[in-house]
A and B are shown apart, each in its own frame.
Chain A
Amino acid sequence: MTAGAARKMPAAAAPDRKARRAWPPRTGMRLLRLHGASRRVPAAIAAIAVCAIGLRIALLGRWDSYGALQLPLVFEAGSAAAITITTASPIGEPERVTGRWLPFLRLATTLTLTVIAAGALCAAGTGAHLAGGTLDVLRNLIGMTGVGLLCAAVLGGGLAWIGPAGYLVVGAYGLYTQWHGPALTTPWIWPARPSGDVGAALCATLVFTMGIVIISVRGAHDSVGE
């Protein structure tokens, strides 16, 4: 068989467009399940659930005003870290060269987990005194998840937790400066801003959008063997 002949693929061997469109849903579900398993999505959901339960238990205690503001931030950072860890791929190159659906799978995984985390944390705060309220939780969660996703693009999914964890320190310091001035008022430190602050919400959303776009398109910067 010559190279020229090889280039001319017989019509029967060419992938049928109709067949592609008629992709059986069961196969799609299987792909989703396998992708989720490879990214440890069940473990991430478990970690998010632990964070939500931890927040609920912590809210039962008595906190001073400063502690009450810091408290949700800690659990939001934990949930964001759990989401960003799922960007790590154990398969690496083979997956990248064969997976046509990979960007969409990454996007779906991250978005689904973010929605689950937001729902779990908001549910945990229902009926309790959640400082900042639901809007605060949503803003901080998506912002810190964005920071984590950007870290995953640089450091890899395994070490991406440093993004939310580091930003937790920055956010807590921002809250601290509200008591012991001069207060930090930049919207980039969104946990220190009121829940209705538009600038802070825009900054958090921008960081999340950047993170999710980069991670969906390029994936995490994972080294071989991790």
Chain B
Amino acid sequence: MTAVPAPAAARPLPAKRGRLPAAARLLRLELRHNAMLWMLPVAVGLFWFTTYRKAMAMPPLWNLRATNMQSGALLAFACPVAGAAAWMGSRETRRHTADLVTITARPRPARLLTTWAATTFWALAAYLGCVAVLYGVTAQQAAWGGPLWWPVAVDAASLLALSALGFAAGTLIPSRFTPAVAAVAAFFALGLSTQLIHGSQSYWQVSPIVTGPWDSGPDAGVGTFYPYLPDLSIAQVMFLAGLTIAVLGAVALPEGPGRGWLRRSAAVITAAGLLAAGTAVALAGTGKLDAHGMIAIPALHDAANDRPLRYTPVCSHSAIPLCLNPAYTSFVPAAAAALSPVLTEIAGLPGAPTRIAQAAATYQQGAGNAVSIRLAGPSMSGTPPVFHLPLPGQLPGPAMTTSAVAAAVRASAGFALVASVVGDGPGATPAQQAVVAALSMSASLPQSSPSAPTRQRPNATVPLPVPVRSAARRFAALSSSARHAWLVQHLAALRAGQITLAQLP
């Protein structure tokens, strides 16, 4: 047998797929084999059930739907994301492959961060998809304004932080029970942390579930007349970003001796993250409820946000025009129709308003989480006089349908209009009370004492004395034109208290 030199084996051409950088290939592998994919239907289903349905039941106002989405979507995604991240973090130990992957060329921090990045990518993709649907539908329904992006940014930062925390838990305690604990703990921390909030200067407001003064419920009036304040959102994003960086830095700390520079870098990153998170908590503690219903943080506050938003009101074609913020365009026909009987009664009377304009409410922090909300300034002002009212649907509380808003406007603003024209109030004469009662009867308004125009319907009915009721019935029995003619002639005297019950027709 002779030695024949064998031809040199041709070097195989690099496959096209091989040209992809190793990190990208690893990421693609992690994306394809990620537990978060299995959790996506659950997360999206929870979003639909708890957030989307609720948002669609609300009036199509950007501020209302965006702030509702921030807390709702976060709770819907918290459990699946934290749990899936913990499951992925514990994978190597759970599958007994830790020793196997330790000897690979890819360093541990890079390996772990790739797994975390893939998990977070799926979570963010699903979340942004849900936001796109919700905002897309709202864009078609909303009459005015535009999408608010700060709530979206807070939720996205929250998902990064939850994913990092879950992943760290799974890496450090690689038990089969860790994902369950992480998921339930995430819900507990988010859902029940707000129990600790007392007043607007609470450090706990840094919780990403908080969008405004806690316990006051969804508030449609916020961000409509004044810009949506990003102060609290900035502090929340800062806190969440710092937390994410600190946790990932701690996870990436190399095990065992050696790699001193990597250890130092990870320690510096962790410290920087903790510093950012701590600063954000301190900033959140300096927040206070501003007059427009949002949390203002002095160090983050932009004075330009205190200027009212400019808009052209949308007015009805009623006897006295009812003019609302264009965001409430859909309420105009119903509210005008509800007020129409009252407006017909008072239109043209001396001192009657020439226009009814929607006004912003002003907010003041009370004891604990109580917030007092009232109309800024007098209800009637200007020359010619304009009657200002906050629409019941713009105050905090459960979302109201258009018909519910119309009924509330009729009950509160209708009575307040009549009372302001006739001059009813604490020192009103029996004749004034009788005329107010008569006009209310004619306009089919509920017989009640005038109250502040808030969401709650006046429930403290003040019974009128018998002579006043008799005079009111007598005056209401007149024809509309006769009533109107008498009021045109005698309203000034009636307001001055110079008319007695006997002088009423």
Contacts and interface: CB of A to CB of B under 8 A. Distances in A.
Contacts of A47: 177, 180-181
A203 interface: no
A161 B175 CA distance: 13
A178 B80 CA distance: 25
B187 A168 contact: yes
A35 interface: no
A161 B83 contact: yes
Contacts of A49: none
Contact of B175 (A43, A78, A159): A43
A170 B80 contact: no
B49 A170 contact: yes
Interface in A60-96: 63-64, 67, 70-71, 74, 77-78, 81-82, 85, 88
B74 to A, nearest CB: 11
Nearest to A84: B180
A166 B46 contact: yes
Nearest to B184: A78
A181 B217 CA distance: 12
B180 A81 contact: yes
Residue among B45, B76, B95, B195 with most chain A CB within 10 A: B195
B79 A226 contact: no
Contacts of B187: 74, 77, 165, 168-169, 172
A81 B49 contact: no
| Chain A residues touching B, majority SS | helix
A162 B83 contact: yes
Contact of A169 (B50, B175, B176, B180): B50
A92 to B, nearest CB: 13
Nearest to A156: B38
B76 A169 contact: yes
A102 interface: no
Nearest to B86: A161
A85 B75 contact: no
Contacts of A225: 95
A162 B183 contact: yes
Contact of A165 (B95, B183, B192, B217): B183
A177 to B, nearest CB: 9
B83 A181 contact: no
A40 B83 CA distance: 19
Contact of A158 (B39, B176, B398): B176
Contacts of B184: 74, 77-78, 81, 164-165, 168
A85 B78 CA distance: 20
B42 interface: yes
Contacts of B195: 63-64, 67
B188 interface: yes
Nearest to A75: B184
Contact of A162 (B39, B49, B50, B76): B39
A162 B191 contact: no
Contacts of A172: 75, 187, 191
Interface in B324-352: none
A85 B176 contact: yes
Contacts of A173: 49-50, 75
A152 to B, nearest CB: 12
A155 interface: yes
A170 B192 CA distance: 15
A70 B192 contact: yes
Contact of A78 (B35, B176, B181): B181
Interface in A144-165: 155, 158-159, 161-162, 164-165
Closest 3 CB pairs of A and B: A161-B180, A81-B180, A165-B183
5 contacts: A43-B176, A78-B180, A82-B180, A164-B184, A172-B191
Given A70-B191, A159-B39, A166-B42, 15 more contacts: A40-B177, A67-B195, A70-B192, A74-B187, A77-B187, A85-B177, A85-B180, A162-B79, A165-B184, A166-B46, A170-B49, A170-B50, A180-B398, A225-B95, A226-B94
Interface of B: 35, 38-39, 42, 45-46, 49-50, 57, 75-76, 78-80, 83, 87, 94-95, 175-177, 179-181, 183-184, 187-188, 191-192, 195, 217-218, 398
